[in-house]
Amino acid sequence: MTLFTTDALEGRCLPLFINNEFVPSQGQSFPSYDPATGAEWSSMPDATADEVDRAVRAARGAMTSAAWRDMSQTDRGSLMYRLADLISQNVDRLSRLEVRDNGKLLKEMTALTHAVAASMRYFAGMADKIEGTTIPVNKPDMLNFTLREPVGVIAAIVPWNSPLLLLNRAFSPAIAAGNAMVVKPSEHSAASILAFAELVAEAGFPPGVFNVVTGGGQTVGDALVRHPEVDKIDFTGGPETGRVIAASAAQNLTPAILELGGKSPNIICADADLDRAVTGVVSGIFAAGGQTCVAGSRCLVHDSIYDEVAERLVARAAEIRIGAPTEADTQLGPLALWSQVEKVGRFVEGAKTAGAKLLAGGGRAEQMGAGWYVQPTIFGDVTNEMDIARNEIFGPVLGLIRYSDDEDMIAKANDTRYGLASGLWTNDMERAMRFMRRINAGMVWINTYRSPSVMAPSGGYKDSGYGKHNGFAAINEFTRIKTVVIDY
Ligand code: NAD
Protein backbone atom coordinates (compact mmCIF):
# COMPACT_ATOMS: atom_id res chain seq x y z
CA MET A 1 0.00 0.00 0.00
CA THR A 2 1.31 3.41 -0.88
CA LEU A 3 1.76 6.07 1.79
CA PHE A 4 1.04 8.75 -0.80
CA THR A 5 -2.69 9.24 -0.68
CA THR A 6 -4.43 12.10 1.11
CA ASP A 7 -5.95 9.62 3.59
CA ALA A 8 -2.75 7.70 4.34
CA LEU A 9 -0.70 10.87 4.81
CA GLU A 10 -3.18 12.49 7.22
CA GLY A 11 -1.23 13.28 10.39
CA ARG A 12 1.96 11.64 9.04
CA CYS A 13 5.37 13.09 8.29
CA LEU A 14 6.78 12.86 4.76
CA PRO A 15 10.03 10.94 4.27
CA LEU A 16 12.98 11.87 2.07
CA PHE A 17 13.74 9.91 -1.12
CA ILE A 18 17.39 8.99 -1.67
CA ASN A 19 18.79 6.24 -3.91
CA ASN A 20 15.28 4.93 -4.69
CA GLU A 21 14.46 4.50 -1.01
CA PHE A 22 12.18 6.42 1.30
CA VAL A 23 14.10 7.35 4.43
CA PRO A 24 12.96 9.19 7.55
CA SER A 25 14.80 12.43 8.18
CA GLN A 26 16.68 13.31 11.36
CA GLY A 27 15.62 16.95 10.91
CA GLN A 28 12.86 18.87 12.68
CA SER A 29 9.46 18.58 11.06
CA PHE A 30 6.91 21.33 10.40
CA PRO A 31 3.25 21.23 9.42
CA SER A 32 1.59 21.27 5.99
CA TYR A 33 -1.83 22.93 5.84
CA ASP A 34 -4.98 22.33 3.83
CA PRO A 35 -5.86 25.77 2.40
CA ALA A 36 -9.52 24.79 1.96
CA THR A 37 -9.95 24.52 5.75
CA GLY A 38 -6.85 26.18 7.15
CA ALA A 39 -6.22 22.97 9.15
CA GLU A 40 -2.94 21.09 9.50
CA TRP A 41 -3.03 17.78 7.60
CA SER A 42 0.51 16.33 7.40
CA SER A 43 4.05 17.43 8.04
CA MET A 44 7.44 17.38 6.37
CA PRO A 45 11.00 17.34 7.64
CA ASP A 46 13.66 19.97 7.27
CA ALA A 47 16.37 17.68 5.90
CA THR A 48 19.76 18.01 7.58
CA ALA A 49 22.88 19.17 5.74
CA ASP A 50 24.14 15.60 5.95
CA GLU A 51 20.97 14.30 4.27
CA VAL A 52 21.27 16.88 1.50
CA ASP A 53 24.86 15.74 1.01
CA ARG A 54 23.73 12.09 0.81
CA ALA A 55 21.13 12.96 -1.81
CA VAL A 56 23.65 14.86 -3.95
CA ARG A 57 26.15 12.01 -3.64
CA ALA A 58 23.43 9.55 -4.64
CA ALA A 59 22.84 11.60 -7.79
CA ARG A 60 26.59 11.76 -8.45
CA GLY A 61 26.72 7.99 -7.93
CA ALA A 62 24.05 7.53 -10.61
CA MET A 63 26.01 9.73 -13.01
CA THR A 64 29.07 7.53 -12.60
CA SER A 65 27.23 4.17 -12.53
CA ALA A 66 27.18 1.98 -15.60
CA ALA A 67 23.45 1.47 -15.02
CA TRP A 68 22.68 5.11 -15.84
CA ARG A 69 25.79 6.53 -17.53
CA ASP A 70 25.94 3.72 -20.09
CA MET A 71 22.21 3.24 -20.58
CA SER A 72 21.35 3.71 -24.25
CA GLN A 73 19.44 6.85 -25.12
CA THR A 74 16.54 4.74 -26.40
CA ASP A 75 16.35 2.83 -23.10
CA ARG A 76 16.32 6.13 -21.23
CA GLY A 77 13.37 7.20 -23.33
CA SER A 78 11.62 3.85 -22.66
CA LEU A 79 11.93 4.37 -18.89
CA MET A 80 10.38 7.79 -19.29
CA TYR A 81 7.49 6.36 -21.33
CA ARG A 82 6.93 3.81 -18.54
CA LEU A 83 6.93 6.57 -15.91
CA ALA A 84 4.52 8.65 -18.02
CA ASP A 85 2.16 5.65 -18.16
CA LEU A 86 2.35 5.27 -14.37
CA ILE A 87 1.53 8.96 -13.98
CA SER A 88 -1.46 8.54 -16.31
CA GLN A 89 -2.66 5.60 -14.19
CA ASN A 90 -2.34 7.66 -11.01
CA VAL A 91 -3.71 11.02 -12.14
CA ASP A 92 -6.44 11.23 -9.53
CA ARG A 93 -4.21 10.26 -6.59
CA LEU A 94 -1.41 12.65 -7.59
CA SER A 95 -3.86 15.47 -8.27
CA ARG A 96 -5.67 15.09 -4.93
CA LEU A 97 -2.38 15.25 -3.02
CA GLU A 98 -1.52 18.55 -4.63
CA VAL A 99 -5.05 19.92 -4.16
CA ARG A 100 -4.76 19.13 -0.44
CA ASP A 101 -1.40 20.91 -0.24
CA ASN A 102 -2.05 24.05 -2.28
CA GLY A 103 -5.80 24.32 -2.83
CA LYS A 104 -5.68 24.09 -6.62
CA LEU A 105 -8.97 23.12 -8.25
CA LEU A 106 -9.18 19.36 -8.68
CA LYS A 107 -10.42 19.64 -12.26
CA GLU A 108 -7.55 21.97 -13.13
CA MET A 109 -5.03 19.78 -11.34
CA THR A 110 -6.36 16.70 -13.13
CA ALA A 111 -5.74 18.41 -16.46
CA LEU A 112 -2.26 19.47 -15.32
CA THR A 113 -1.32 15.96 -14.24
CA HIS A 114 -2.38 14.63 -17.64
CA ALA A 115 -0.24 17.40 -19.14
CA VAL A 116 2.72 16.24 -17.03
CA ALA A 117 2.44 12.74 -18.51
CA ALA A 118 2.07 14.17 -22.02
CA SER A 119 5.10 16.42 -21.73
CA MET A 120 7.13 13.53 -20.31
CA ARG A 121 6.25 11.54 -23.44
CA TYR A 122 7.33 14.49 -25.59
CA PHE A 123 10.80 14.49 -23.96
CA ALA A 124 10.96 10.67 -23.86
CA GLY A 125 10.73 10.79 -27.64
CA MET A 126 13.63 13.23 -27.71
CA ALA A 127 15.98 11.09 -25.62
CA ASP A 128 17.46 9.28 -28.64
CA LYS A 129 17.42 12.31 -30.92
CA ILE A 130 19.98 14.33 -28.99
CA GLU A 131 22.98 14.58 -31.29
CA GLY A 132 26.09 16.57 -31.98
CA THR A 133 27.26 18.13 -35.24
CA THR A 134 30.16 17.70 -37.64
CA ILE A 135 32.03 20.92 -38.36
CA PRO A 136 33.98 21.64 -41.56
CA VAL A 137 37.26 23.18 -40.41
CA ASN A 138 38.79 23.51 -43.88
CA LYS A 139 41.45 20.87 -43.18
CA PRO A 140 41.08 17.67 -45.24
CA ASP A 141 42.84 15.41 -42.71
CA MET A 142 40.92 16.59 -39.72
CA LEU A 143 37.57 15.56 -38.35
CA ASN A 144 35.96 18.05 -36.02
CA PHE A 145 32.71 17.21 -34.31
CA THR A 146 30.73 17.86 -31.16
CA LEU A 147 29.21 15.57 -28.54
CA ARG A 148 26.20 16.65 -26.57
CA GLU A 149 26.66 15.32 -23.03
CA PRO A 150 24.55 15.52 -19.87
CA VAL A 151 25.51 18.36 -17.53
CA GLY A 152 25.56 16.09 -14.45
CA VAL A 153 23.79 16.58 -11.12
CA ILE A 154 20.87 18.99 -11.41
CA ALA A 155 19.48 20.68 -8.28
CA ALA A 156 15.85 21.61 -8.86
CA ILE A 157 14.17 24.08 -6.50
CA VAL A 158 10.41 24.21 -6.92
CA PRO A 159 7.74 26.65 -5.62
CA TRP A 160 4.36 25.75 -4.12
CA ASN A 161 1.98 26.91 -6.83
CA SER A 162 2.37 23.96 -9.21
CA PRO A 163 4.86 21.44 -7.80
CA LEU A 164 4.38 18.49 -10.17
CA LEU A 165 4.20 20.57 -13.32
CA LEU A 166 7.21 22.69 -12.42
CA LEU A 167 9.25 19.72 -11.21
CA ASN A 168 8.54 17.90 -14.45
CA ARG A 169 9.43 20.95 -16.51
CA ALA A 170 12.99 20.34 -15.31
CA PHE A 171 12.86 16.56 -14.76
CA SER A 172 11.78 15.47 -18.25
CA PRO A 173 14.39 17.30 -20.36
CA ALA A 174 17.09 16.73 -17.75
CA ILE A 175 16.47 12.99 -17.53
CA ALA A 176 15.99 12.61 -21.31
CA ALA A 177 19.47 14.15 -21.63
CA GLY A 178 20.93 11.67 -19.12
CA ASN A 179 21.34 13.85 -16.01
CA ALA A 180 20.53 12.94 -12.39
CA MET A 181 18.49 15.18 -10.12
CA VAL A 182 17.97 16.24 -6.52
CA VAL A 183 14.79 18.23 -5.98
CA LYS A 184 13.82 20.39 -3.06
CA PRO A 185 10.09 20.97 -3.21
CA SER A 186 8.48 23.97 -1.56
CA GLU A 187 8.17 23.79 2.22
CA HIS A 188 4.42 24.23 1.64
CA SER A 189 3.69 21.45 -0.84
CA ALA A 190 5.90 18.40 -1.19
CA ALA A 191 3.48 15.44 -1.09
CA SER A 192 2.84 15.13 -4.83
CA ILE A 193 6.57 15.19 -5.57
CA LEU A 194 7.22 12.31 -3.16
CA ALA A 195 4.36 10.37 -4.78
CA PHE A 196 6.08 11.07 -8.12
CA ALA A 197 9.35 9.71 -6.65
CA GLU A 198 7.62 6.44 -5.75
CA LEU A 199 6.58 6.08 -9.40
CA VAL A 200 10.15 6.84 -10.55
CA ALA A 201 11.36 3.82 -8.57
CA GLU A 202 8.46 1.68 -9.80
CA ALA A 203 9.26 2.58 -13.42
CA GLY A 204 12.73 1.09 -12.92
CA PHE A 205 15.05 4.09 -12.95
CA PRO A 206 18.42 3.18 -11.41
CA PRO A 207 19.00 4.35 -7.81
CA GLY A 208 20.18 7.94 -7.45
CA VAL A 209 18.78 9.24 -10.73
CA PHE A 210 16.06 11.11 -8.84
CA ASN A 211 16.18 12.19 -5.18
CA VAL A 212 13.98 14.38 -2.98
CA VAL A 213 15.00 16.41 0.07
CA THR A 214 12.25 18.42 1.74
CA GLY A 215 12.47 21.49 3.93
CA GLY A 216 12.98 25.22 4.08
CA GLY A 217 14.65 27.39 1.47
CA GLN A 218 17.27 29.00 3.67
CA THR A 219 18.22 25.65 5.20
CA VAL A 220 17.79 22.76 2.76
CA GLY A 221 17.56 24.84 -0.42
CA ASP A 222 20.65 26.82 0.48
CA ALA A 223 22.65 23.67 1.34
CA LEU A 224 21.63 22.15 -1.99
CA VAL A 225 22.48 25.09 -4.25
CA ARG A 226 25.82 25.61 -2.52
CA HIS A 227 26.81 21.95 -2.76
CA PRO A 228 30.02 21.70 -4.79
CA GLU A 229 28.85 18.50 -6.51
CA VAL A 230 25.82 20.22 -8.06
CA ASP A 231 26.47 20.93 -11.74
CA LYS A 232 23.44 23.05 -12.59
CA ILE A 233 20.59 24.69 -10.69
CA ASP A 234 17.05 24.83 -12.01
CA PHE A 235 15.18 27.35 -9.88
CA THR A 236 11.56 28.45 -10.11
CA GLY A 237 10.39 31.03 -7.59
CA GLY A 238 10.37 34.71 -6.77
CA PRO A 239 12.98 37.24 -7.99
CA GLU A 240 14.23 38.00 -4.47
CA THR A 241 15.06 34.33 -3.92
CA GLY A 242 16.41 34.17 -7.47
CA ARG A 243 18.97 36.85 -6.60
CA VAL A 244 20.07 34.95 -3.48
CA ILE A 245 20.40 31.74 -5.49
CA ALA A 246 22.36 33.42 -8.29
CA ALA A 247 24.77 34.76 -5.65
CA SER A 248 25.10 31.33 -3.98
CA ALA A 249 25.60 29.67 -7.37
CA ALA A 250 28.35 32.15 -8.21
CA GLN A 251 30.50 30.78 -5.36
CA ASN A 252 30.99 27.49 -7.25
CA LEU A 253 30.41 29.00 -10.72
CA THR A 254 27.38 26.75 -10.96
CA PRO A 255 25.18 27.70 -13.93
CA ALA A 256 21.50 28.26 -13.24
CA ILE A 257 18.15 28.56 -14.95
CA LEU A 258 16.06 31.15 -13.11
CA GLU A 259 12.30 31.14 -13.77
CA LEU A 260 11.02 34.05 -11.71
CA GLY A 261 7.94 36.17 -11.23
CA GLY A 262 5.97 38.49 -13.46
CA LYS A 263 3.69 41.50 -13.68
CA SER A 264 2.42 40.70 -17.12
CA PRO A 265 0.36 43.15 -19.21
CA ASN A 266 -2.80 41.84 -20.86
CA ILE A 267 -3.83 44.60 -23.28
CA ILE A 268 -7.21 45.31 -24.86
CA CYS A 269 -7.05 47.50 -27.98
CA ALA A 270 -10.00 49.55 -29.22
CA ASP A 271 -10.43 47.21 -32.22
CA ALA A 272 -10.42 43.98 -30.18
CA ASP A 273 -13.20 41.41 -30.13
CA LEU A 274 -14.36 42.40 -26.65
CA ASP A 275 -16.12 39.12 -25.84
CA ARG A 276 -12.93 37.16 -26.43
CA ALA A 277 -10.71 39.77 -24.82
CA VAL A 278 -12.74 40.03 -21.62
CA THR A 279 -12.85 36.23 -21.30
CA GLY A 280 -9.08 36.10 -21.86
CA VAL A 281 -8.40 38.80 -19.26
CA VAL A 282 -10.68 37.15 -16.67
CA SER A 283 -9.07 33.72 -17.04
CA GLY A 284 -5.62 35.30 -17.37
CA ILE A 285 -5.85 36.72 -13.86
CA PHE A 286 -8.40 34.66 -11.95
CA ALA A 287 -7.43 31.13 -13.05
CA ALA A 288 -5.63 29.39 -10.18
CA GLY A 289 -6.52 32.42 -8.04
CA GLY A 290 -3.90 34.51 -9.82
CA GLN A 291 -1.21 32.24 -8.40
CA THR A 292 0.56 31.71 -11.71
CA CYS A 293 3.78 33.34 -12.78
CA VAL A 294 2.18 34.48 -16.06
CA ALA A 295 -0.94 35.97 -14.43
CA GLY A 296 -2.07 38.93 -16.54
CA SER A 297 -2.30 41.24 -13.55
CA ARG A 298 -2.03 44.56 -15.44
CA CYS A 299 -4.90 45.06 -17.85
CA LEU A 300 -4.10 47.97 -20.17
CA VAL A 301 -7.25 49.28 -21.86
CA HIS A 302 -7.64 51.88 -24.61
CA ASP A 303 -9.30 55.05 -23.34
CA SER A 304 -12.19 54.80 -25.80
CA ILE A 305 -13.41 51.42 -24.45
CA TYR A 306 -12.21 51.70 -20.86
CA ASP A 307 -15.65 52.19 -19.24
CA GLU A 308 -17.27 49.38 -21.20
CA VAL A 309 -14.40 46.97 -20.47
CA ALA A 310 -14.44 47.85 -16.77
CA GLU A 311 -18.17 47.23 -16.59
CA ARG A 312 -17.90 43.89 -18.37
CA LEU A 313 -15.00 42.71 -16.23
CA VAL A 314 -16.83 43.60 -13.02
CA ALA A 315 -19.90 41.69 -14.22
CA ARG A 316 -17.77 38.66 -15.03
CA ALA A 317 -15.98 38.79 -11.68
CA ALA A 318 -19.36 38.74 -9.92
CA GLU A 319 -20.25 35.51 -11.73
CA ILE A 320 -17.15 33.61 -10.59
CA ARG A 321 -18.17 30.72 -8.35
CA ILE A 322 -16.02 30.51 -5.22
CA GLY A 323 -15.98 27.10 -3.58
CA ALA A 324 -14.11 24.06 -2.34
CA PRO A 325 -11.37 22.95 -4.73
CA THR A 326 -12.81 19.45 -5.05
CA GLU A 327 -16.30 20.65 -6.12
CA ALA A 328 -16.80 20.26 -9.88
CA ASP A 329 -18.43 23.66 -10.43
CA THR A 330 -15.92 25.75 -8.42
CA GLN A 331 -14.14 28.40 -10.45
CA LEU A 332 -12.08 30.05 -7.71
CA GLY A 333 -10.66 28.05 -4.82
CA PRO A 334 -8.60 29.11 -1.81
CA LEU A 335 -5.18 30.72 -1.95
CA ALA A 336 -2.44 28.26 -1.13
CA LEU A 337 -0.98 30.07 1.88
CA TRP A 338 -2.32 32.19 4.70
CA SER A 339 0.58 34.58 4.07
CA GLN A 340 -0.80 35.07 0.54
CA VAL A 341 -4.19 36.08 1.97
CA GLU A 342 -2.42 38.65 4.14
CA LYS A 343 -0.31 39.83 1.20
CA VAL A 344 -3.40 40.38 -0.96
CA GLY A 345 -4.94 42.37 1.93
CA ARG A 346 -1.87 44.60 2.13
CA PHE A 347 -1.92 45.30 -1.63
CA VAL A 348 -5.66 46.06 -1.54
CA GLU A 349 -5.23 48.60 1.27
CA GLY A 350 -2.17 50.10 -0.43
CA ALA A 351 -4.04 50.48 -3.73
CA LYS A 352 -6.95 52.25 -2.02
CA THR A 353 -4.57 54.64 -0.28
CA ALA A 354 -2.75 55.30 -3.56
CA GLY A 355 -6.00 56.41 -5.22
CA ALA A 356 -7.00 53.32 -7.23
CA LYS A 357 -10.75 52.69 -7.40
CA LEU A 358 -12.00 49.39 -5.98
CA LEU A 359 -14.46 48.04 -8.58
CA ALA A 360 -14.92 44.46 -7.37
CA GLY A 361 -14.02 42.25 -4.41
CA GLY A 362 -11.27 43.47 -2.13
CA GLY A 363 -11.77 41.16 0.83
CA ARG A 364 -11.94 37.59 2.02
CA ALA A 365 -14.78 35.36 0.82
CA GLU A 366 -16.34 35.15 4.30
CA GLN A 367 -18.92 32.56 3.24
CA MET A 368 -16.06 30.01 3.02
CA GLY A 369 -15.39 30.06 6.78
CA ALA A 370 -11.85 29.45 7.95
CA GLY A 371 -10.51 28.52 4.48
CA TRP A 372 -8.08 30.86 2.77
CA TYR A 373 -10.47 32.31 0.18
CA VAL A 374 -10.22 35.77 -1.34
CA GLN A 375 -12.74 37.48 -3.63
CA PRO A 376 -11.83 38.16 -7.25
CA THR A 377 -10.70 41.76 -7.02
CA ILE A 378 -10.54 44.50 -9.65
CA PHE A 379 -9.14 48.00 -9.28
CA GLY A 380 -9.75 50.77 -11.80
CA ASP A 381 -7.77 54.00 -12.33
CA VAL A 382 -4.52 52.21 -11.62
CA THR A 383 -1.32 53.90 -12.77
CA ASN A 384 1.99 52.24 -13.44
CA GLU A 385 3.51 54.13 -10.49
CA MET A 386 1.31 52.34 -7.94
CA ASP A 387 2.61 49.42 -5.95
CA ILE A 388 -0.29 47.30 -7.23
CA ALA A 389 1.05 47.76 -10.78
CA ARG A 390 4.74 47.41 -9.99
CA ASN A 391 4.95 44.36 -7.75
CA GLU A 392 3.80 40.78 -8.14
CA ILE A 393 0.83 40.02 -5.86
CA PHE A 394 0.37 36.37 -6.89
CA GLY A 395 -3.33 36.56 -6.06
CA PRO A 396 -6.70 37.27 -7.76
CA VAL A 397 -6.16 41.02 -8.11
CA LEU A 398 -6.44 42.84 -11.43
CA GLY A 399 -5.48 46.47 -12.05
CA LEU A 400 -6.98 48.40 -14.97
CA ILE A 401 -4.66 50.96 -16.57
CA ARG A 402 -5.76 53.38 -19.30
CA TYR A 403 -3.69 54.11 -22.39
CA SER A 404 -4.18 56.67 -25.15
CA ASP A 405 -2.36 55.35 -28.24
CA ASP A 406 0.03 52.57 -29.27
CA GLU A 407 3.14 54.47 -28.19
CA ASP A 408 1.63 55.05 -24.76
CA MET A 409 0.53 51.40 -24.63
CA ILE A 410 3.95 49.92 -25.42
CA ALA A 411 5.68 52.35 -23.06
CA LYS A 412 3.35 51.39 -20.20
CA ALA A 413 3.52 47.68 -21.00
CA ASN A 414 7.33 47.77 -20.90
CA ASP A 415 7.51 50.01 -17.83
CA THR A 416 8.10 47.14 -15.39
CA ARG A 417 11.10 45.35 -13.96
CA TYR A 418 9.52 42.07 -15.10
CA GLY A 419 9.38 40.51 -18.56
CA LEU A 420 7.71 37.14 -18.39
CA ALA A 421 4.51 37.12 -20.47
CA SER A 422 2.32 39.58 -22.34
CA GLY A 423 -1.04 39.51 -24.11
CA LEU A 424 -2.56 41.72 -26.79
CA TRP A 425 -6.17 41.63 -27.99
CA THR A 426 -6.58 43.25 -31.41
CA ASN A 427 -7.94 42.61 -34.88
CA ASP A 428 -5.20 44.71 -36.45
CA MET A 429 -2.37 42.35 -37.35
CA GLU A 430 0.05 45.15 -38.17
CA ARG A 431 -0.44 46.47 -34.66
CA ALA A 432 0.08 42.94 -33.33
CA MET A 433 3.33 42.57 -35.29
CA ARG A 434 4.69 45.89 -34.02
CA PHE A 435 3.78 44.92 -30.46
CA MET A 436 5.36 41.49 -30.80
CA ARG A 437 8.68 43.08 -31.74
CA ARG A 438 8.72 45.87 -29.18
CA ILE A 439 7.45 44.14 -26.04
CA ASN A 440 10.20 43.15 -23.60
CA ALA A 441 8.79 39.80 -22.54
CA GLY A 442 9.78 36.19 -23.11
CA MET A 443 6.26 35.19 -24.15
CA VAL A 444 3.79 37.08 -26.34
CA TRP A 445 0.19 35.96 -26.77
CA ILE A 446 -1.95 37.63 -29.44
CA ASN A 447 -5.72 37.09 -29.11
CA THR A 448 -5.07 34.36 -26.56
CA TYR A 449 -3.58 34.22 -23.08
CA ARG A 450 -1.90 31.54 -20.96
CA SER A 451 -1.39 29.26 -23.94
CA PRO A 452 1.74 27.34 -23.08
CA SER A 453 2.99 24.30 -25.00
CA VAL A 454 5.66 21.84 -24.02
CA MET A 455 6.97 22.20 -27.58
CA ALA A 456 7.52 25.97 -27.32
CA PRO A 457 10.39 27.50 -25.31
CA SER A 458 9.27 29.46 -22.24
CA GLY A 459 11.18 31.77 -19.95
CA GLY A 460 11.49 35.39 -18.96
CA TYR A 461 13.32 38.59 -19.76
CA LYS A 462 14.65 41.10 -17.21
CA ASP A 463 13.83 40.30 -13.56
CA SER A 464 11.68 37.38 -14.70
CA GLY A 465 14.89 35.41 -15.02
CA TYR A 466 17.01 33.62 -17.59
CA GLY A 467 17.23 30.23 -19.27
CA LYS A 468 14.53 28.32 -21.12
CA HIS A 469 12.24 25.40 -20.40
CA ASN A 470 10.19 23.39 -22.89
CA GLY A 471 10.98 22.55 -26.49
CA PHE A 472 14.45 21.64 -27.70
CA ALA A 473 15.71 24.74 -25.88
CA ALA A 474 15.31 22.75 -22.65
CA ILE A 475 17.50 19.94 -23.98
CA ASN A 476 20.14 22.57 -24.73
CA GLU A 477 19.93 23.74 -21.10
CA PHE A 478 20.57 20.23 -19.78
CA THR A 479 23.41 19.26 -22.14
CA ARG A 480 26.98 20.44 -22.55
CA ILE A 481 28.82 20.58 -25.85
CA LYS A 482 32.18 18.87 -26.10
CA THR A 483 34.27 19.58 -29.20
CA VAL A 484 36.43 16.74 -30.51
CA VAL A 485 39.20 17.15 -33.09
CA ILE A 486 40.81 14.13 -34.76
CA ASP A 487 43.86 14.58 -36.97
CA TYR A 488 44.01 11.45 -39.09
P1 NAD B 1 10.04 31.52 -3.34
O2 NAD B 1 11.08 32.24 -4.10
O3 NAD B 1 9.68 32.02 -1.99
O4 NAD B 1 10.45 29.99 -3.12
C5 NAD B 1 10.71 29.13 -4.20
C6 NAD B 1 11.55 27.97 -3.72
O7 NAD B 1 12.83 28.46 -3.35
C8 NAD B 1 10.99 27.26 -2.50
O9 NAD B 1 11.19 25.87 -2.63
C10 NAD B 1 11.84 27.81 -1.37
O11 NAD B 1 11.95 26.95 -0.27
C12 NAD B 1 13.18 27.95 -2.08
N13 NAD B 1 14.13 28.89 -1.44
C14 NAD B 1 13.85 30.00 -0.73
N15 NAD B 1 15.00 30.59 -0.32
C16 NAD B 1 16.02 29.84 -0.79
C17 NAD B 1 17.44 29.92 -0.71
N18 NAD B 1 18.03 30.91 -0.05
N19 NAD B 1 18.17 28.97 -1.32
C20 NAD B 1 17.58 27.98 -1.99
N21 NAD B 1 16.23 27.83 -2.11
C22 NAD B 1 15.46 28.76 -1.52
O23 NAD B 1 8.77 31.44 -4.28
P24 NAD B 1 7.34 30.85 -3.95
O25 NAD B 1 6.63 31.81 -3.05
O26 NAD B 1 7.47 29.43 -3.52
O27 NAD B 1 6.68 30.87 -5.41
C28 NAD B 1 6.09 31.99 -5.96
C29 NAD B 1 7.02 32.65 -6.96
O30 NAD B 1 7.40 31.71 -7.97
C31 NAD B 1 6.34 33.78 -7.69
O32 NAD B 1 7.22 34.87 -7.79
C33 NAD B 1 6.07 33.19 -9.06
O34 NAD B 1 5.93 34.13 -10.10
C35 NAD B 1 7.25 32.31 -9.25
N36 NAD B 1 6.99 31.31 -10.28
C37 NAD B 1 7.64 31.45 -11.48
C38 NAD B 1 7.37 30.55 -12.52
C39 NAD B 1 8.02 30.70 -13.87
O40 NAD B 1 7.95 29.77 -14.66
N41 NAD B 1 8.66 31.82 -14.17
C42 NAD B 1 6.47 29.50 -12.30
C43 NAD B 1 5.85 29.39 -11.06
C44 NAD B 1 6.12 30.30 -10.05
The predicted-structure confidence for 129-176, as pLDDT tens digits, reads as follows: 999 999 998 888 999 999 999 999 999 999 999 999 999 999 999 999
Q: Which of 259, 308, 342, 385 is catalytic?
A: 259
Q: For 187, which DSSP code?
A: T
Atom of ligand 1 nearest to the CA of 169: 40
pTM: 0.97
Q: Is 261 in the pocket of ligand 1 (CB under 6 A)?
A: yes
Distance 154 CA to ligand 1 centre (A): 17
- Supply the residue whose CA is at minimum distance from atom 16 of ligand 1: 217
**pLDDT value of residue 178:** 98
Distance CA(291)–CA(405), nearest Å, equals 30
- Residues 15/22, Cβ–Cβ less than 8 Å: yes
Architecture of domain 8-260+457-484: 3-Layer(aba) Sandwich (3.40)
Distance 340 CA to ligand 1 centre (A): 13
Q: DSSP strand E in 198-280: where?
A: 210-212, 232-236, 256-259, 265-268
Q: Is 418 in the pocket of ligand 1 (CB under 6 A)?
A: no
pLDDT, one tens digit for every residue, the chain (488 residues) = 899 999 999 999 999 999 999 999 999 999 999 999 999 999 999 999 999 999 999 999 999 999 999 999 999 999 999 999 999 999 999 999 999 999 999 999 999 999 999 999 999 999 999 999 999 988 889 999 999 999 999 999 999 999 999 999 999 999 999 999 999 999 999 999 999 999 999 999 999 999 999 999 999 999 999 999 999 999 999 999 999 999 999 999 999 999 999 999 999 999 999 999 999 999 999 999 999 999 999 999 999 999 999 999 999 999 999 999 999 999 999 999 999 999 999 999 999 999 999 999 999 998 889 899 999 999 999 999 999 999 999 999 999 999 999 999 999 999 999 999 999 999 999 999 999 999 999 999 999 999 889 999 999 999 999 999 999 999 999 999 999 999 99
Distance 368 CA to ligand 1 centre (A): 28
- Residues 425/417, Cβ–Cβ less than 8 Å: no
Distance 281 CA to ligand 1 centre (A): 25
**Superfamily assignment of 265-446 in CATH?**
Aldehyde Dehydrogenase; Chain A, domain 2 (3.40.309.10)
Cβ neighbours of residue 439 closer than 8 Å, sequence gap 6 or more:
265, 410, 413, 414, 422, 424
Q: What angle do CA 446, 447, 450 make, to 5 degrees?
A: 80
Q: Is 187 in the pocket of ligand 1 (CB under 6 A)?
A: yes
**Helix (H, G, I), strand (E, B), or coil: what is residue 452?**
coil
List the beta bridge partners of residue 380: 357
**Helix (H, G, I), strand (E, B), or coil: what is residue 273?**
coil
Q: Is 333 in the pocket of ligand 1 (CB under 6 A)?
A: no
Q: Is 291 in the pocket of ligand 1 (CB under 6 A)?
A: no
Q: Where do the structural domains in the chain lie, given as residue ranges? A: 8-260+457-484, 265-446
- Supply the residue whose CA is at minimum distance from atom 32 of ligand 1: 238
- Supply the residue whose CA is at minimum distance from atom 6 of ligand 1: 159
- Supply the residue whose CA is at minimum distance from atom 15 of ligand 1: 217
Distance 305 CA to ligand 1 centre (A): 37
Choose among 214, 212, 215, 218: nearest CA to 241: 218
Indicate if 240 belongs to the active site. no
List the beta bridge partners of residue 256: 233
The predicted-structure confidence for 377-429, as pLDDT tens digits, reads as follows: 999 999 999 999 999 999 999 999 999 999 999 999 999 999 999 999 999 99
Which ipTM value was assigned to this complex? 0.97
State how far the alpha carbon of 483 is from the alpha carbons of 30, 129, 148, in Å. Answer: 48, 18, 9
Note every long-range contact of 48-53, with CB atoms under 8 Å and residues 24 or more positions apart, other chains counting: 49/223, 50/26, 51/16, 51/18, 51/23, 51/25, 51/26, 51/27, 51/213, 52/182, 52/213, 52/220, 52/223, 52/224, 52/227, 53/223, 53/227
